[in-house]
Amino acid sequence: DTGVSQNPRHKITKRGQNVTFRCDPISEHNRLYWYRQTLGQGPEFLTYFQNEAQLEKSRLLSDRFSAERPKGSFSTLEIQRTEQGDSAMYLCASSRGDRGLLWQETQYFGPGTRLLVL
Amino acid sequence: QQQVKQSPQSLIVQKGGISIINCAYENTAFDYFPWYQQFPGKGPALLIAIRPDVSEKKEGRFTISFNKSAKQFSLHIMDSQPGDSATYFCAASGSEKLVFGKGTKLTVNP
């Protein structure tokens, strides 16, 4: 299967703990995105990478959040000192990146990591 | 600040009927408009997408209608089936990030 994979699928943690999620994009996709989705809402953009460079961060991404994409392959999203408001589904997506052709812009989403902060 | 407004919030149709979901946007810089389908516990999956240089695009039972002057676009699902029961999101992009609507929960009764 060459789709986007995310681990873990579920994470329960206590308030104040740190958590880290991993995303493996589709091979050869040079863009990788992180979104957050809360119940009853559409996904909200957090940040994206072009290869290993983090090019844009949303205001939603507070200083407790950090994302990396070493070597332009997989990415990790870390949340430090978790708060109950961080409970959400964290979605990763990847795309080929070129905006010239419609199919190249398609963002393919992984299954998400559902975080519950107690 | 909601840049893409989606309606209705929920929709119930009978099998074989037409499902219609509408979206409106504000940012004229948006130039890419995809629709995603999401089943419970899964990530969103692309259904169909359009650019504003065409007014309609059809793929199988799914059609996007686009009205650039009104800044509106809609998804039509023809011959709706129970397997189409899911949440549908419209989205828009003018750069790299997608801006999503709040979603429409579609239920197709057998």
pLDDT in tens, A64-75: 999 999 988 999
A104 has pLDDT over 80: no
Can you list the domains of chain B with their CATH numbers?
4-109 (2.60.40.10)
- Whether residues B51 and A102 touch (CB distance < 8 A) is answered with yes
pLDDT band at residue B39 under the 50/70/90 scheme: very high
In a 3-state reduction of DSSP, which class is residue A81? coil
- Whether residues B49 and A102 touch (CB distance < 8 A) is answered with yes
Q: Which residue of B has its CA nearest to A110?
A: B43
Which among A4, A42, A99 is the nearest to B89, CB-wise? A42
Residue A51 phi/psi, 5° resolution?
Answer: 55, -125
Query: Nearest CA to CA, how far is A112 from chain B (Å)?
Result: 6
Per-residue pLDDT reduced to its tens digit, A54-101 = 999 998 888 999 999 998 899 999 999 999 999 999 999 999 876 666
